[in-house]
Amino acid sequence: MQYKIIGEPLPVVECQLAAGEAMITERGSMCWMSPNMKMETSAGGVGKAFGRMFSGESMFQNTYTAQGGPGMISFASSFPGSIRVIDIAPGREVVVQKSGFLASEAGVELSVFFQKKASAGFFGGEGFIMQKLSGQGTAFVEIDGYAVEYELAPGQQMVIDTGYLAMCDASCSIDIVSVKGVKNVLFGGEGLFNTVVTGPGKIVLQTMPISSFAGALGPFVSSGS
């Protein structure tokens, strides 16, 4: 499989497949393809289907296979930002924000990733449930807004407002912690929870989560319209 990413801030990844090669996607992100691309929709097993649904994705998975010769298929981002390319391999798994997975080669597996502190996580919004990409192959991940990378040393931590963590190496530890102090909670305007990521590993932060974008637009949208 060969690919190229075209355009920002609304990018699309165009993939060139050899005969028999396949791509998977968890939702309707396919935007155009050659006529010899065959689509098959499957749940991939009940447990995996409900796991994908719980992590913010569709219960069903679409597989596109080039038949009878080389094929082309493209997947577009759903929000202004960028598309990152990740090479997944045993020992090189990554954790991504829910709905961040765009598409991948057929050897990549998607599963639910839970933070350690489930009691706080149930109230932590989108930072609680994330997705883990494992297996073998190339994956494409959506980033909302601009991507900022940090390499955390063992034990080094970063405190992140919930929703701004786009992706991190699976070697990182992720916890949800509550904001301390009644005044901070009531008047700080930063929400009730933060995400704390502990190294070692790389983290990718995003400058405009879609939830923050929606919140920023809220005061300007008339409820009566």
Q: Mind giving me the DSSP string for 114-167?
A: E-S-HHHHTTSGGGTEEEEEEESEEEEEEEES-EEEEEEPTT-EEEEETT-EEE
pLDDT at 120: 42
pLDDT digits (tens, 9 = 90+) for 39-68: 999 865 444 545 555 544 556 789 999 999
Shortest CA distance to 125 belongs to which of 179, 203, 184? 179
| % of the chain surpassing 90 pLDDT | 56
14 has pLDDT over 70: yes
Higher pLDDT: 48 or 130? It is: 130
Residue whose token pair is 């919140």: 215
pLDDT of residue 115: 60
Q: Domain locations in the chain?
A: 2-216
Instruction: Supply 68's token pair.
Output: 């009878």
64-83: burial string, b at 16+ Cβ within 10 Å, e else: bbbeeeebbbbbbbebbbbb
Fold (topology level) of 2-216: Double-stranded beta-helix (3.60.160)
d(CA 202, CA 18): 32
Cα–Cα nearest to 156, from 168, 148, 146, 166: 168
CB 170 within 8 A of CB 111: no
Residues 221, 211: Cα–Cα separation, whole Å: 15
Rank 29-43, 45-59, 104-118 by mean pLDDT and report only the highest: 29-43
- Of 43-57, 83-97, 179-193, 210-224, the range with the highest mean pLDDT is 83-97
